[in-house]
């Protein structure tokens, strides 16, 4: 059974969230260690969502989304990860749907994120969701999308799904 969980630090799902976060770092930022205390601090600074996606109680992905208190109309996707063996099975879109719900509750107007230039599957994923490149350098691509347009893309995809 598929389950999306809004994780609060130091609750029952926190250890699974931190373990998956470390897996993400190991695969993408070799040598980096997950700093749970820093994540707790950032959560307390608010508004922030730690989302965990599980399939039959097995974590398959997570997201870290925050809203800048200086610009509360914009949500930022800090991390978005689906385990490699779980990719291309629709989990990313499901997790993305949870981000849309959370950001909708916060009345944001736009969503921003960035990816590594060389991670073409990630870049394709975000472009398929209608994100537009707003800047890039040799290392990173920054994307943005109006929240209301994003929701329309999500609804259309759900109607088209079998």
Residue 160 banded pLDDT, cuts 50, 70, 90:
low
Tokens, residue 90: 């629709």
Query: Given this model, what pLDDT does residue 146 score?
Result: 87
Mean residue pLDDT across the chain? 91
Query: Given this model, what pLDDT does residue 29 score?
Result: 86
The yes-or-no verdict on residue 156 having pLDDT over 60 is: no
Judge contact between 111 and 75, C-beta under 8 A: yes
Q: What residue has token string 């059974």?
A: 1
b/e for 13-50, b at 16 or more Cβ within 10 A?
Answer: bbebbbebbebbbeeeeeeeebebeebeebbeeebbbb
Can you give the CATH number for the domain in which 140 is found? 3.40.630.30
- Which stretches does DSSP call E strand in 37-92? 48-55, 58-67, 74-82
Which of the pair, 156 or 129, is modelled with greater confidence?
129
Helix (H) or strand (E) segment spanning residue 37: helix 36-45
Q: What percent of the chain has pLDDT over 90?
A: 78
Query: Given this model, what pLDDT does residue 161 score?
Result: 57
Q: How many C-beta atoms lie closer than 10 Å to residue 3's C-beta?
A: 13
The yes-or-no verdict on residue 91 having pLDDT over 90 is: yes
Domain that holds residue 150: 2-160
Q: How many domains does the chain have?
A: 1
Residue 147 banded pLDDT, cuts 50, 70, 90:
confident
Mean pLDDT across the stretch 122-147? Answer: 92
Tens-digit pLDDT profile for residues 18-59:
999 999 999 988 899 999 999 999 999 999 999 999 999 899
């Amino acid at each position: 059974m598929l389950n999306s969980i809004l994780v609060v630090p130091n609750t029952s799902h926190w250890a699974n969230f931190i373990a998956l976060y470390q897996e993400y770092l190991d695969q993408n930022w070799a040598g980096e260690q997950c700093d749970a205390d820093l994540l707790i601090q950032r959560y307390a600074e608010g508004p922030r969502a730690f989302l965990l996606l599980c399939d039959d109680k097995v974590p398959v992905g997570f997201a870290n989304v925050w809203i800048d208190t200086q610009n509360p109309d914009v949500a930022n996707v800090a991390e978005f990860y689906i385990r490699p063996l779980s990719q291309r099975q629709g989990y990313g879109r499901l997790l993305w749907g949870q981000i849309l719900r959370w950001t909708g509750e916060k009345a944001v107007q736009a969503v921003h994120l960035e990816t590594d230039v060389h991670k073409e599957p990630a870049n394709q994923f975000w472009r398929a969701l209608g994100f537009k490149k707003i800047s890039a350098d040799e290392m990173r691509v920054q994307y943005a999308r109006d929240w209301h347009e994003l929701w329309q893309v999500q609804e259309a995809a759900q109607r088209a799904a079998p």
